[in-house]
Structures are given as structure tokens and as C-alpha cells.
Amino acid sequence: MTQPIALITGATSGIGEATARILSRNYRLIICGRRKDRLEKLKKELGREVQTLSFDVRDKKAFFSAFESLPEDWKKVDVLINNAGNAHGLDLIQDGNTDDWDAMMDINVKGLLYVSKAIIPGMVSRKKGHIVNISSIAGLEVYPRGNVYCASKHAVDALTKGMRMDLNEHGIKVTSIDPGLVETEFSEVRFKGDTKRASQVYQNYTPLTAHDVAETIEFVLSRPPHVMIGDVLILPTDQASSTIVNKKSQ
């Protein structure tokens, strides 16, 4: 029996890469990201049942062109993991950098929409599929200096709910995964390469790993056809909310 196909955006690091590694056991994969060298390295590690697509999700034409380049039998995507996303800066709203705002809204919201637009019509025609949107606790709460990032993830939460309503009659599952603090490249990107500042985010408590989140995605996808897990908030035990973390004194 031919394995189903899963397309994962943002597969070159963090949650996306960990998800690709776990799903490769039961899925043929289309792994996507900007860093082509990392995609090719991951493909080599995972095996031959993998296609790579290198593009920036902000570039609508680039994604549609990349997707159309796939062999026909690879375009019937069963599972879409909308994982690509980012955070830039941690500024007060009055001090915010508009380029940072554009990047967050373009990648976290518009990029998700562009990829979904290419994949969903096929799912609708086949009357099956599962969309997993990787959001954040920031899509459920707002925290100081999180303004635009939180807004972008609130938009993902709204889009997930809207997708679930619109696609209900077609038998398509839609899930939101909302992680709390996960130790990935996330903070390094947010602090624009300041590795020292980024590392301090994860000190004195035990954060989630990308693998923890990937295992949750695998569980959600493994439910029987009549079961849809709509929303999952996954936190490290030391975290109670966006602003409450039980950090141990040194």
C-alpha cells in the first residue's frame, strides 16, 4: 500500500525538522524551506521517498511554481503541516521596527495562507485530508512586548477555526498545535543572531524540545478517521502561562 504524503513547511530546523524525522516512518514527505543545503542534507538522511521544495513562504509565486514542479503523483497531499513561522524583535509597540512587523505578518499569516491555497483544493476534491497549523501560546494570550507576534498568532488561531468550519462538509480535519517555550532557533531569530541573549531564554528551567512537539503532531495524525483533535496547548511543566515560568534559582 502506498504511503500517504505529508508536506511540511519550515522543515530545515526546529519543530519542522523534528516532525519530518518522525513522520518519515509512515509518510512520503515533501519538505520545504529556504535553506536548500539543509533540505538536501535532511533528504539524504531520511531516504528516497522525499521531495524537497526550496522557497520563501512570503513569495506567493515562488511557492506555487515550486509546488507545480512536483511530479503529478506527489501533488495529492494528505497532510499539510503549516509550520513555517518566525518572531522578530521584542519591542514596545511604539518602538517597533516595521520591517520586523512585515516579516512576521508575511510569514506567519500570509505564508500559511499561500501554502494552504495550493493544497486545500485537492483535499476538497478528494474529500479527505488533515491540516495542522503550528501556532503558539501567543495565539491564545498576549504578553508584554509581544504585540505584533501575538497578533500574527492570534490570526493563525482565527484562520484555523475558519478552516475547520469551511472544510467540515468535506471531511477534512484541521488542528492547531500551540506550543509554549520550545528550545529551537526561535529565540536566536527573534534576537537577530544574539546567541547569548537567546540562550538565556531557556536557562534555569526545562523547556520543551522540538521532538516533544513533533511527537504530539504524530499522535494527532494517528487518530482514527472519526476523531479530530482540534486544539492542543503543549507546555513545559515549568510553564503556566506566557509570563509565568518556574525558574529555579542558581
Alpha helices in the chain (DSSP H): 14-23, 36-46, 60-68, 98-105, 112-126, 147-167, 186-190, 195-200, 210-221
Whether residue 216 contacts residue 210, with contact meaning beta carbons closer than 8 Å, is answered with: no
Backbone angles phi, psi at 167, to 5 degrees: -100, 0
How crowded is the C-beta side of 205, counted as CA atoms within 13 Å? 19
- Which of 27, 143, 149, 202 does the annotation list as catalytic? 149
Cα–Cα nearest to 176, from 158, 192, 196, 188: 158
- Is residue 27 annotated as part of the catalytic site, yes or no? no
The DSSP secondary-structure symbol of 95 reads: G
Mind telling me the catalytic residues? 149
